[in-house]
A and B are shown apart, each in its own frame.
Chain A
Amino acid sequence: MGRTLPSFMQVILSEQASLAKFRRALRFEDQSALDDLFRMAHYHAAESAYASHALPFEVMLLAMLLEEHKVVLRLQRQIERLELSGEST
């Protein structure tokens, strides 16, 4: 459709493309971790677009951080549960 500006999805893709060299130089196991980070940014594309931030890459970083933190919290809870069940047995 006739858009003047690229959508946030397109912005993510172009950022990803601009980091192609970085990705290429990474070791294979690191490459897939990098791809994961961009998936996280994708997941929050709607919220990021709504934010209308002048520097979209910063918002993408924040989205990655947010998802990372969710993982940390989840793992933390899981550890607590395991510890509790360990104590009870």
Chain B
Amino acid sequence: MKVLDGWIFDVYPAGQEMVVWVSDPEGRAHCLRDTFTPAFFVGGDPAELLAAAHFLVDQGWSVKPSRTKRTELFSGHTIGVLQVEVTNLNLFTIIFERLTRAKPRLGYYNGDISLPQMYFFARNAFPLAFCHFVLNGDNRILALEVDDSPWTLDYKLPPLKRMVIRLEGDAINPNHGYRAPLVVETEDATRELNGDDPRALLETLRDLLVRHDPDLIVTDWGDSFILPRLLQMSKKYNIPLPFNRDPSRPPQFHPPDSYFSYGRIVYKTAAQMLFGRWHIDRRNAFLTDDYELEGAFEIARLTQIPVQRVVRTSTGTGISAMEIATAYRRGVLVPWHKQEPEAWKSGLDLVRSDKGGLVYQPVLGLHEDVAEIDFISMYPSIMARLNVSPETVSCKCCPDNRVPEIGYSICKKRRGLVPETIEPLIRKRVEYKKRIREVPDGPEREIYRRRQSAHKWLLVTCFGYLGYKNARFGRIEAHEAVTAYGRECLLRAKEIAESRGFRVLHANVDSLWVQKRRTTKKHSDACPERIGREEYNALLNEITRVTCIPIALEGIYRWVAFLPSRQDERMSVANRYIGVFEEGEIKMRGIETRRRDTPPFVVVAQMEMLRVLASAESCEELKPLVPRVIEIACAYADALRSGQVPYQDLVITKRLSRDPMAYSKDTLLAIAAKEILGSGVELSPGGSIQYIITEEHAGAKCDRARPFVHYRGQEPYDAEKYIELLLRAVETVLTPLGIGRTQIDEWVKQGTGEAERAQRYLAKKKVEYWGPLFEFAERTKAATQ
């Protein structure tokens, strides 16, 4: 017998037991084994259950059926069920599926929870948990004590040896035809492996893997390109590559897939998962640097999903896993195919309930003395504080507790499963946010920040999952109850703000932009500066008290501009604005800089202009800055014309919404995609295409745009087109000052020397919007007083 302390690194089934990889404090990996018997449950008529048990035994499968009692989610009643324990883990899914096919009328539970998760539930453990193990001679776990909690704020992680495998040079997608030598980075050195001699390359890589024995292999496009190619080569030349620590099995391959979700096509690339070692593809994960790994570790610890899976999961899987864990803890059955249908509604009920959050149209134009206040995690807070969960909505026992507007009752007697799951999550996030404010800037704070944003990711999806009909713990009525409470909170907040003399300029689901003259710094020169803050605090306190949902001050703006729609300059849109907070931080939504299809060159130019404008303390100080903005625009336009712009900065990234050949109109995207296709590369809908505009109006289509992978910088780019994109970005920034495109064109053409004219022009022009019928109304002196 021996003891071992360490972190659970990886867990997967093998035969009748689970393989548990443990990393000890010295960074050594240990391969342990643990006997584990998972079970699924079957519900239904007792006679039919008996028949099912007989069927299982007759098939000669290695199962142990028995009778037991469990709680049913929706009714809350304890029901008699058949428990089926499966001793051979490899057969768990197969036996479950065969039984469901043979006896389709029975109710099935817990059958599609992944085995590593079930193992973690049974042992009360989680990935990267620090544990004490008692082992026998051949590394079998006799006892496991978890000395860690997913809810601790500070925890230690095992020391990880990492290896980076990527292609040399710019990060260009090799699936689109980019080729370069292989680069292998280890702690001590960076090596470039040339592919001229495949045998030598494979042997070197094999030696590196054996010698360094990394815990973690980080790649760029390793899922879709590098690992599959290397494994293919390894097979061809018969030189095995020990990517797995576990020599008994090959890496696990998941094929790619395109699917339709939330109105757009999503492309899910292939996945290469390792055993006893992690493979993380930076291009197929939500992380881009070391700190973001902190976020992935945090999610793995909270959701009990192994790290390699966590980095590749779609949003929603994480929160769903946590809800399953709560159910498991409570002895509640996890339905396999949900059978709870949507209740009948009348047409008018549907009009009343099928609404999302309230999204106002902002009052267009430039404003000052504005503050933004946001409800903190509004929907999750509503679920947690008001007990909204699929099984608590429309209960029969609490007719007095009604949801506003739609009138469903919410149970007050039973604590909902979803609220119980997310409440500690909200608390932990608040704690991390507090630490972020308290800890000085540095690596520690960055770690907290990453963990906090990982929580945000989990909390955002927990609401969506409540309304998704295929989600295990989803129910449309619960989703509607949450949005109804959300609208109520927002309207209460609006009313409270207005009763305190604020004007509501904009409101968007969980945030409000409120304006009150003489509350910000500038005006309080004569009186103490703190008055403004106090007034905001009083407002926030009252809203929190009345709605029960916490609300916080996002910031006070020096100035904020709500921008018009691109299609109609007289119409406002909810999510297009630029603002500068008192601390100087710029906040913007929906403008070029934030869009992924804007070339980096335009992003840099627009940011430079915004930084100039951000120095203005008030609306009045903005105008003198316009000539400098025009100067910047001219400098960038000159750089484009004279060909000084590096071509990497001109690349435009767009997502394919369909198969490239299915584009009937030859847009630039379609032209670039078809060229890539022509070079023998496969493309899938939802994948990204990068291209450079060479000559937008060329006669031959192939001359109009070229894919980035084929562009080597010798060909000319379409300077005029890029200037057009640049000027559009200039227009966005200057519209709030009443400066239109014609004026900008004139100034840019006449060069920087004429900038003084701009000053004169602006001195004359004083503008203001009013209502949707806003003309640029002349502001008379009297109107402002």
Contact = CB atoms under 8 A, between A and B. Distances in A.
Interface in B401-435: 405
A85 B770 CA distance: 23
By Cβ-Cβ distance, the 4 closest A-B pairs, closest first, are A43-B772, A52-B352, A46-B360, A39-B772
A3 B354 contact: yes
A45 B361 contact: yes
Given A39-B568, A53-B351, A71-B771, 18 more contacts: A1-B262, A5-B351, A36-B773, A39-B570, A39-B571, A39-B772, A42-B571, A42-B772, A43-B361, A43-B772, A45-B359, A46-B361, A49-B358, A50-B355, A50-B491, A52-B405, A54-B348, A67-B771
Given A39-B570, A42-B571, A85 B772 contact: no
Interface of B: 262-263, 348, 350-352, 354-356, 358-361, 405, 487, 491, 507, 568, 570-572, 770-773, 780, 782-783
A78 B667 CA distance: 51
Given A5-B351, A42-B571, A50 B358 contact: yes
A76 to B, nearest CB: 13
A40 B571 CA distance: 9
12 contacts: A3-B354, A4-B354, A5-B354, A36-B772, A39-B568, A39-B571, A40-B771, A46-B359, A47-B360, A67-B773, A81-B780, A85-B782
Contacts of A40: 771-773
A38 to B, nearest CB: 9
Nearest to A71: B773
B359 to A, nearest CB: 6
A31 to B, nearest CB: 14
A39 B378 CA distance: 30
Interface of A: 1, 3-5, 7, 36, 39-40, 42-47, 49-50, 52-54, 67, 70-71, 74, 78, 81, 85
Nearest to A39: B772
A54 B346 CA distance: 12
B344 to A, nearest CB: 13
B350 to A, nearest CB: 6
Contacts of B359: 45-46
A1 B348 CA distance: 21
Interface of A is mostly: helix
A81 B780 CA distance: 10
Contact of B351 (A36, A39, A46, A54): A54
A43 B771 contact: yes
Contacts of A81: 780, 782-783
B355 A49 contact: yes
B688 to A, nearest CB: 22
Nearest to B363: A43
B364 to A, nearest CB: 9
A46 B568 contact: no
Nearest to B464: A1
Given A1-B262, A36-B773, A39-B772, A52 B355 contact: yes
B350 A5 contact: yes
A46 B771 CA distance: 15
Contacts of B771: 40, 43, 67, 70-71
A89 to B, nearest CB: 13
